[in-house]
Amino acid sequence: MPEQAADVVHLPSNASETLRIMGKATALAARGLLDVSQNQAGLRITEKTAGDFVSEADHEAERTIAICLDHAFPGYGWLGEEGGERQSEVDGLRWIVDPLDGTTNFLKGLPHWAVSIALYQGDTPLCAIVHDPVKRETFSAERGQGASLNGNLIRVSEDPAMTAALLATGVPSGGRVTHLPHCLRDLAALMPETAGIRRWGAAALDLAYVAAGRLDAYWERNLGPWDIAAGLLIVEEAGGQVLPLWPDRGILNSGSFIAGHGGLVQTVIQSLDRAAS
């Protein structure tokens, strides 16, 4: 049997036509990114802020996705990490896209990055894909249809004791250290109480791993909506819960949340609230 192509996107057999077209756009972007990852000579790289990199590969992947989706769904809005925002002309429907989540990993040759695409209507997620070409894993979800990994249904982990829970987070760096004191306080509160904390450098995959039960919970502050838009739906459709870290601020706008099994999410929030008081 021939080896499975790394840019193949595997979806559930009952995937909608919309999700299938999203999968096509994802596969096209992944193909180009894989080619670049194997030969980065001459790749143009710039810094958006200190320590926050963007490359020609990010821009090209986003253009590829936009061409595919705009052809199939003219008039839909757009919010992309590199391409900015365009208002919707069709019932508030818009794409939220991170063409390369984990750019620093990608540029350093660390095999942990993904393409992330979500379709929203207003602030409601409808469809989502997070595709990891290197590991050949496609996480997907449609509202009310459950979440899948390579077409097979997935669920968040059962509610573990805090001492057995494996958590993930992000660590502020470079020019994005506004919430560094909060992060350090969070780590001081949770490290002694848990089985471990991971920092992978790709938020979309952190959320996907929560949905698949590989991580028990994931929290972070100050992410962009493109970092998390797809992963939020995948977690919720896998039976998980996503709550804002600041109840008076929306998750997409603040980029600050905790995701995981509902019981564990509540336990973690209680620990964070005690540390903040």
What pLDDT does residue 176 have? 66
Question: What is the distance between the alpha carbons of residues 137 and 114, in angstroms, rounded to a whole number?
Answer: 9
Which burial class, exposed, middle or buried, applies to 254 when counting CB atoms under 10 A from its CB (0-12, 13-18, 19+)? middle
Identify the structural domains of the chain with CATH numbers, from first to last. Answer: 17-154 (3.30.540.10), 162-276 (3.40.190.80)
Residue 133 to residues 27, 130, 263, Cα–Cα distance (Å): 9, 10, 32
Cα radius of gyration rounded to whole Å, the chain:
18
> For residue 39, which phi and psi values (nearest 5 degrees)?
-155, 95
Sign of the CA dihedral running 116, 247, 156, 110: positive
Q: Give the integer Cα–Cα distance in Å for 203 and 249.
A: 19
The model's pTM is 0.92
Position 97, amino acid: V
Per-residue pLDDT of the chain (277 residues; tens, 9 = 90+): 344 577 789 999 999 999 999 999 999 999 999 988 887 656 776 655 544 545 678 888 999 999 999 999 999 999 998 778 999 999 999 999 999 999 889 989 999 999 999 999 999 999 999 999 999 999 999 999 999 999 999 999 998 899 999 999 998 776 667 778 888 999 999 999 999 999 999 999 999 999 999 999 999 998 999 999 999 999 999 999 999 998 888 899 899 999 999 999 999 999 998 888 8
